[in-house]
Amino acid sequence: MKKLLLLPLCATLLFTSCNNDDDNVSGDNTPDISTPALYTFERDGVSTVSFDGQTTRILMAGETSDAFKAFETATEASIKAMFAHVEGATDFSEDDLNSSDKSIESKVAASADFFAANTTEAAVIKGEFAEYIEGQINEVFPNENVLASAGVAGQVADGTSTRYVNALGLEYNQMFAKSVLGALMVDQILNNYLSTAVLDAESNRANNDSDIVEEGKSYTSMEHKWDEAYGYIYGTSENPANPNLTIGEDDKFLNEYTGRVNDDTDFATIAADIFEAFKLGRAAIVAKDYEVRDEQAEIIRENISKVIAVRGIYYLQQAKTKIANGEVTGSFHALSEAYGFIYSLRFTRVPGTNDAYFSKEEVDALLSQLTGDGENGLWDLEVATIESISEAIAAEFDFTVAQAASIE
């Protein structure tokens, strides 16, 4: 698949060529963009930044994935209720989540660009999450105290940790968590809230041009849509205005893995590139410069997609090393995480196009390859297969398997 690689426009020069603190107008009568040092935007002294719904869904997803290991209390019905939360139901530990009208399910595979006209695939994807829940309750829970073996669900040792796997060696809780990272967070950012179909919907552009805010709010609709994209990566940050201070520490989803990839010296600017593009794009909306806004959206698409691909390969390569060392069951945890990241490739976005880096058919083929070396899935997985999948992913990006596999 052909890729478009973009350089962050002014992302590293925000305080020089992209700033004009004099009159905000350049010599050619086009607006310059005054970009704040932090993600802080105000109108008449009141913040215009809001992404409460995204924070809520991140917290809901965290509790739901934790419930996969609540052997004493969780049921198929209780976890499914968390996934498809109804306002007022006591599904979560926090009252604010229970009183919310938000749910995970409603935003899974629900982007305007990829799924508005593709409801059949969206329904299949939602059904796959239900299957993760059903598998954990009906296959793994009954074998909580059984030592897993080829074809038998149960527990396996992984260093000092105990993991719980199905008959193929897969951890449903990891499959759920890493798949929801893509189907919810990545899809909503790249293919929904940063979509021109959403940003420019109805009278959004005209209202933004005239600073017409939503009823009872301080922000325009366009400003809010951009902030909602921002919230799916930074919504639980300790300091949302300056989130890279703790990037990787604030949730178990996109924030965490952006931080993990950024820790690799091969990708040491990726967290800054994403944050600066979000910041400049939001400033461009304030300045009514929609060309710069859209350029920043493409930078975000490229880099968040890269996070998913890098981390998928990283876990594959971690597992390859363990298998080569004879630690077959010790590889299952990394392979289960890899499974979810490969699944999440469906929701990535090639910059400048309306295409994912991998279609659902291509993703399904990679996952079938991962579990297809024998009837017992990961128990039969061969090192050569891991290498083949890793190379297939890396071939669509601008980095190598070796770069993604390293931690330095």
**What would the pLDDT profile of 57-95 be if each residue is shown by its tens digit?**
999 999 999 999 999 999 999 999 999 999 999 999 999
Can you tell me the mean pLDDT for 153-157? Answer: 96
Residue percentage of the chain with pLDDT more than 90: 90
User: Residue 10 — pLDDT band, cuts 50, 70, 90?
Assistant: very low
pLDDT (tens digit, 9 = 90+) per residue, 324-348? 999 999 999 999 999 999 999 999 9
Q: What is the pLDDT of residues 281-292, one digit of tens each?
A: 999 999 999 999
Token reading at 160:
């000092």
pLDDT tier at 1, thresholds 50, 70, 90: very low
What is the C-alpha to C-alpha distance for residues 82 and 103, in angstroms, rounded to an integer?
8
Q: What is the pLDDT of residues 159-208, one digit of tens each?
A: 899 999 999 999 999 999 999 999 999 999 999 999 999 999 999 999 99
Whole-Å CA distances, 161 to 92, 311, 329, 332, 368: 26, 21, 12, 12, 27
Instruction: Identify the residue whose tokens are 């962050």.
Output: 8
DSSP labels, 150-180: TTB-EEEEETTEEEEE-TTS--HHHHHHHHH
Q: CA angle 274-357-339, nearest 5°?
A: 90
Query: What pLDDT is attached to residue 207?
Result: 98
Average pLDDT over residues 255-278: 98
Are 52 and 224 spatial neighbours (Cβ–Cβ below 8 Å)?
Answer: no
Using the structure block, give the residue that is written with the tokens 């300056």: 242
Contact 304, 254 (CB under 8 A): yes
- Mean pLDDT (the chain) is 93
**In the predicted model, is pLDDT for residue 222 greater than 70?**
yes
CA distances from 384 to 317, 320, 324, 377, 397 (A): 11, 9, 11, 15, 21
Instruction: Answer whether residue 20 shows pLDDT above 80.
Output: no
Residue 75 token pair: 């049921």
> According to the model, what pLDDT value does residue 23 have?
37
- Phi/psi at 399 (nearest 5 deg)? -135, 165
Please give the Cα distance from 266 to 408 (Å, whole number): 7
For residue 31, what pLDDT band results from cuts at 50, 70 and 90? low
**Average pLDDT rounded to a whole number, residues 250-279:** 98
Q: Which residues contact 211 (CB under 8 A, 6 or more apart)?
A: 43, 220
Give the helix ranges, DSSP H, for 201-331: 204-209, 221-234, 254-262, 270-286, 290-324
Structural Rg of the chain based on CA atoms: 22
pLDDT at position 108 is 98
